[in-house]
A and B are shown apart, each in its own frame.
Chain A
Amino acid sequence: AQKITQTQPGMFVQEKEAVTLDCTYDTSDQSYGLFWYKQPSSGEMIFLIYQGSYDEQNATEGRYSLNFQKARKSANLVISASQLGDSAMYFCVRGSNYKLTFGKGTLLTVNP
């Protein structure tokens, strides 16, 4: 199976600091997409950012940026200026052939 690996089960960050959540992935596809989703304790899945495999520039969405290193099959999420509301589970996701494959997630806790 083509895996998504998130090596950090839990991360802590101080409010207003930046944090990087790691993600590596397996794929044999030429065309694929990489996503990050946030899941707060309420359970809803919130889309954060998307990177296409052919996109040459790293994706950015407000405080979120995706550090895409294709040769290393790495797609780390960087959250700048963390806020208390950023505390949640974060999933790295690969999209291929219309299907999404989820990593195991990283639980981020933002401390005041």
Chain B
Amino acid sequence: GAVVSQHPSRVICKSGTSVKIECRSLDFQATTMFWYRQFPKQSLMLMATSNEGSKATYEQGVEKDKFLINHASLTLSTLTVTSAHPEDSSFYICSATQGITRYTQYFGPGTRLTVL
């Protein structure tokens, strides 16, 4: 149980285009989903927290107009990187929590974004 999927697993796009990444909880309803970014050989940095049906809460320094998050249902959250640039190339990982415990998050497999 507690499986989280992400799609796509890899994406390559041209500079200036927008990319959408989907995060799905497959066998549970996720009250809260989180989006992280991980640069090569670095740790995960929380970008934003999204609750179903409400606006996402962004961490300091994360541009909300650039990284659009939608959490339309209890099983799906999307991250759209708008007008992507090479510096946005990174590994993006989502996680979801059932809300049963305060901290346990189940992670998706990640999406590797490369902006040319």
Binds A, one of B13-21, B67-75, B78-86, B104-112: B104-112
In the complex, the number of residue pairs spanning A and B with C-beta atoms less than 8 Å apart equals: 58
Interface class of chain A by DSSP:
strand
Residues from chain B with a CB closer than 8 A to the CB of A102 are: 43-45
Measured CB to CB, the nearest residue on chain A to B103 is A95
Docked complex Cα distance between A96 and B43 (Å): 18
Docked complex Cα distance between A47 and B104 (Å): 9
Interface size counted on chain B using CB atoms at 8 A: 23
Chain B residues 21-58 with CB under 8 Å of chain A are: 32, 34, 42-46, 49
Residues from chain A with a CB closer than 8 A to the CB of B105 are: 95, 100
Most buried by A among B95, B103, B106: B103
A-B contact list, 7 entries, CB within 8 Å: A31-B102, A35-B104, A44-B109, A45-B110, A47-B104, A99-B49, A100-B103
Shortest beta-carbon contacts, A-B, top 6: A95-B103, A45-B107, A33-B103, A102-B43, A43-B110, A102-B44
